[in-house]
Amino acid sequence: MNPYIREWSSTNTGTGYYADDLTNPDFFIEASIATIKSEKILTFIVRTIKPGPGGTVIRGKVKGSEFFEAMWEHFVAMGTTIDVIQGEWSDRVIFNFGKLTANLDAFNRALLIHSTREDAASNGTPTGRYAKKKLYTKVHFAKAEPPSQTGTGPYTDVVVQFRRP
């Protein structure tokens, strides 16, 4: 595990996880598992960059994939089964210094390259790639708004679920 990951062990449970970057608490991962209709659904937010002065980008010491891996190991250690990895991607504001739209932006770009939006979600986004690495390759869109007749977006609000086939 990346030594810069600080896990908040006292609050982490079988259904919740939080870790941040030792060098800057603005960079973190938070995950939660909810049971809906007997399925355990993992939702998470991860933040590893933020805008710096003069249009620059400040990066933390931990990559998104490393945060994800640490979270995954935690839930495995807790014996938690995960049926669904759910991505909630939108262009709505979350922080005063900007939006968290890495997945949404990547998805909209990937739609122009991949033949289906399922492929775009699975292969063209950070969350999709994390899910694929864990063999969650079956893709279902619970929400993709606004509707697009060609399926190429651009979308502003997406809820996508990755399951094992």
**Closest-CA residue to 103 (of 117, 86, 85, 90):** 90
For 73-130, the DSSP string reads HHHHHTT----EEEEEEE-SEEETTEE--HHHHHHHHHHTTSSSHHHHHHHSSHHHHH
Looking at 9, 23, 34, 73, which residue binds another protein (CB under 8 A)? 34
From 36-44, 76-84, 104-112, 122-130, give the range in contact with another protein by CB under 8 A: 36-44
Supply the minimum distance, in Å, between the C-beta of residue 126 and another protein.
Answer: 16
Count of residues interacting with another protein (CB under 8 A) = 31
Looking at 100, 111, 121, 131, which residue binds another protein (CB under 8 A)? 100
b (16+ CB within 10 A) / e for 93-103? eeeeeeebbbb
Contact between 73 and another protein per CB under 8 A: no
Q: What is the CA radius of gyration of the chain?
A: 16
Contact between 140 and another protein per CB under 8 A: no
Contact between 1 and another protein per CB under 8 A: no
User: Applying CB under 8 A, which residues contact another protein?
Assistant: 11, 16, 18, 20, 25-26, 28, 30, 32, 34, 41, 43-45, 86, 88, 90, 92-96, 100, 144-149, 151, 157
